Structure 1
Amino acid sequence: MSGAMEALRGFVRDNAGINLGADKDYLVVSRLKPQLTSWNVATLDGLVDRLRAQPKGSLASQVIAALTINETLWFRDQKPFEALKSVIIPDLVSRVPADRPIAIWSAACSSGQEVYSIAMTMREEEQQLRGRRFGILGSDICEPVLARARSGIYSQFEVQRGLPVQRLVKYFEDLGGEWRVRTELRANIEFRALNLLDLPQNMGPFDIIFCRNVLIYFEPPIKKAVLASLAARTRPGGYLALGGAETTLGLTAAFTPLPGWAGVYRKTA
């Protein structure tokens, strides 16, 4: 069993960058064991043997999806959305050509709450945007949660987690026990399955990247590599929003903290 746990931790680290210490073995067991039967595997040792035989197959994707932490809610932490309204949009409008859409990327977007929170914020700032268009890319390594994000359908419990009732009524359709994001809010949004450790070379550039509460699961070398990859896909003077417990300090000089806005950075000139 201990050998299987070590192998599974290594598999997730190598394929998703997530560092699960031995203290997280309970999480690995609780998330994988209930699915062994559906995968036609009897034990975790048998699962490891299958993954070694097919390290890039469908089973591998399902294992990564099961072990990826997908905690999310609407307008999480508030600060980045306040910075978006108060600082980022006014700055971009002042220097981005009026005929170029503002490009936004929500990396590790899980089931889409962050993406739709950004879209709501942008639509509510139409006066500031002065007719400028915008596009939002939401990405995640986990295809099942992306399918939920694309559907735009959320349970009553999910919409109660950080979503004010005024926005719920304005931007969602009541399906009777569930709520669906209205078509007009989804118009400028695309969802794609992407691995932050292996991004397409021609991706971007973006004016704003949200990559929040992801780096905390990576070891320093992987954090550096991911931040370098994000910097390469950020326009000069563009913005990066990290989680409240994350920092670029000691990892990259490509981003400078935005004074007064914890967790929000600007690409260094």
Structure 2
Amino acid sequence: MRMDHHMQIANSAFATRCNYLRGLKSLILHYEKLPEECTADEVKAYLVHERETCNLSSSTINLRVCSLKYYYRHVAGRLDLVVKIPNPRIQKYDTEVLTSEELKKLFQCCRDMRQKLILTALFDTGIRVRELLRVRLSDFDKQHQSITIRNSKGKRTRLVYYGSRLRIVLKQYCKYLGYLPKGVLIESYKDPSKSLTLRGVQFIVKQTVKRSGLKKRIHPHTFRHSFAVHYLNCGGSIFSLQRLLGHQNITTTLHYLKYASLPEGKQISVLDEMP
């Protein structure tokens, strides 16, 4: 497909390419014709159908709009349609942060060591799910207790750190498998030569939450949010947190200050401190 070729040349992330192609394919199947053959009114009607009939979230609709605008701007050259397609207003939710007790409950409700490793690693390191699914045992540095995260968001490489509890769970996981995984660490249940999928992790988290009885809106990314807030509560620097999370812009990291319980600092007069 032309858009996929264009996005590959533009060095777009694999996940972005998949999401954009999915959105474009949805429009093609809806009208059974090429996107450039659609009018602005037809595109708008399609988006309304997706939102009201298919009950898609505002963020998913926004992704659909982004994919169509990308296609019309960069592939089809239909700038007239780009202007006429409105950007949806995204519904924002408060960031859910798990307490220590809630985390312990979730860890206890894991059915096997693979599930426990996933939840433990997500919280202890704060890495994204897609990053975890690419991690290999060879990425672990036992001496410095660090993990090399390769080709993360923005095609960057960074280091994250892990503690003794994750080290123990990792050891138990390898014992549970009966061997040291040579490929990806989080293997698929059906095919050990492949990684567990994103949907697989989402399903595991959903079922674990259900067994725990917790009523919060918890998804895999919740563990990353929780890591960030707990890190700040433990005295971690906001700039160190930015590096650990792999945020390019500090503004994204500053969002977590709103949820952290930071101690009030002593009032200091810098003038009085002068000798």
Could you state the TM-score of these two structures normalised by the residue count of structure 2? Answer: 0.30
TM-score normalised according to structure 1 size: 0.30
Higher share of residues assigned helix: 2
Bigger CA radius of gyration: 2
The structure richer in strand per residue is 1
